[in-house]
Amino acid sequence: MSKEQAFGRKPVAILEKIRENLERLNEKIEVMIELQRHDHRESPTPIQDVPLDVMTLLSMPDHLRKTAMTVCRSGRATADEIAQQTCRARAVESAYLNQLVLMGYLKKERKGRKAYFFAERDVEGER
Amino acid sequence: MGKIIAVHSYKGGTGKTLLSVNLAATFAKLGKKVCLFDLDFRAPSLFAILKIPTAENWLNDYLNNTCDINKVLIDISSRIPGKGSLFVGLANPSTEAIRDMSAKDRKWEMRALGRLLHLRNALLNDQHFDYIVMDTSPGLQYSSINAIVAADLVAVATTGDRSDVDGTSRMLKELYNLFEKKTGIVLNKVLDSTAKSRRDELYDRVKNVYKVPLLGMVPCFCEVLRAEGNFIFSQDKPDHPFSALLTEMAKKIDANEVK
């Protein structure tokens, strides 16, 4: 976006853009904190397409299983929606969801200001 | 909102299929709209029990994403007295189908889980089924764990066999608990069930070893063995004590007494 275009827009729109960027930054920081907490030193490059099957769910640590199970049941959901179901803080769920994305179990898709999380099978749709 | 019930056990021969068929038939007799699924793809048996030798579409086809669930359902409501309805979805008993289902990979199993989870919308929400009863394979099989994850309640059939008691208590801790599932125990083939001391001993086991609610205590009925799978007791022998126990169990589930 050119400077002229940016200044031509209403202040509310600019503030929205700043808020959107701050949210993205916040999510990235949450992932970094989560990775540090679990002593992951490798670079956070997502692993591609790891199936989220029941045996994988069983072998997960409890805190991630709860999040992953909720996504499985919901099909497609935001961190907010998952947090409502698990009764944990949105920031916590956001960190867990992003960790599951990095581990290759979930996919993340951004639509406007909202980020949706889902397991790969939903891409193909249900009959 | 309807419920999905998975009937599972640690060992084979504990009475899962007998329990599933009779529980589904009892719900239907109580006026409910019920669906009974055979998810024991390694040893399909509902087709034989219900005397439906062949089907146009099997549950295998639904999980393979080659047909809609309504193409799988067979309406057997005419066999049940009263206003309820009973549908079944069968597992393909051919050796080829059993071999095919045993060779599925993790990705397929993940999609199968998605298809099972989808039934909540397709059958409970859209078609207003009251109950889906899923008969499963014993132990830690993919198809069984998929059913457990999709279910609202797991009914665990168990006998007094030492290895069964040990395996069941381990599954309670390391399987159903991890998935945060409501679980109820059905003690089956109970010997000397009329003796108070025996009953107290079993109540004690449920309370202290299994630590989950007791759905029912089913004595070892010779008539059930003698029937050789030819009767649906709740339908063909409504006055038998086994049918009365099943009614009690169904009412307990319907009243949400399993927490």
Please state, in angstroms and rounded to a whole number, the distance separating the CA atoms of residues B155 and B135. Answer: 10
B259 found inside a domain: no
Nearest to B44 by CA among B91, B87, B89: B91
Q: Is the confidence at residue A127, as pLDDT, over 70?
A: no
Say yes or no: domain A3-124 is CATH 1.10.10.10.
yes
Contact B109 A54 (CB under 8 A): yes
Q: Is the confidence at residue A23, as pLDDT, over 90?
A: no
B144 found inside a domain: yes
pLDDT at site A121: 66
Q: What's the whole-number mean pLDDT along residues B137-143?
A: 94
pLDDT single digits (tens) A66-110 = 999 999 999 899 999 999 999 999 999 999 999 999 999 999 999
Q: Domain containing B62: what range?
A: 3-254
Contact B178 A126 (CB under 8 A): no
ipTM comes to 0.84
pLDDT at site A4: 55
Q: Which residues of B touch A (CB under 8 A)?
A: 65, 67-68, 106-107, 109-111, 113-115, 117-118, 142, 145-146, 148-149, 175, 178-180
Please state, in angstroms and rounded to a whole number, the distance separating the CA atoms of residues B148 and B190. Answer: 25
pLDDT at site A26: 79
pLDDT single digits (tens) B187-245 = 998 888 788 888 888 888 899 999 999 999 988 888 777 777 777 777 788 888 889 99
pTM, full prediction: 0.84
Q: Does A51 touch chain B (CB under 8 A)?
A: yes
Domain ranges of chain A: 3-124
CATH value at residue B122: 3.40.50.300
pLDDT at site B166: 93
> Looking at the 3D structure of chain B, how many domains does it have?
1
B12 found inside a domain: yes
- Which residues have CB under 8 Å from A36's CB, separation 6+? none
Q: Does A73 touch chain B (CB under 8 A)?
A: yes
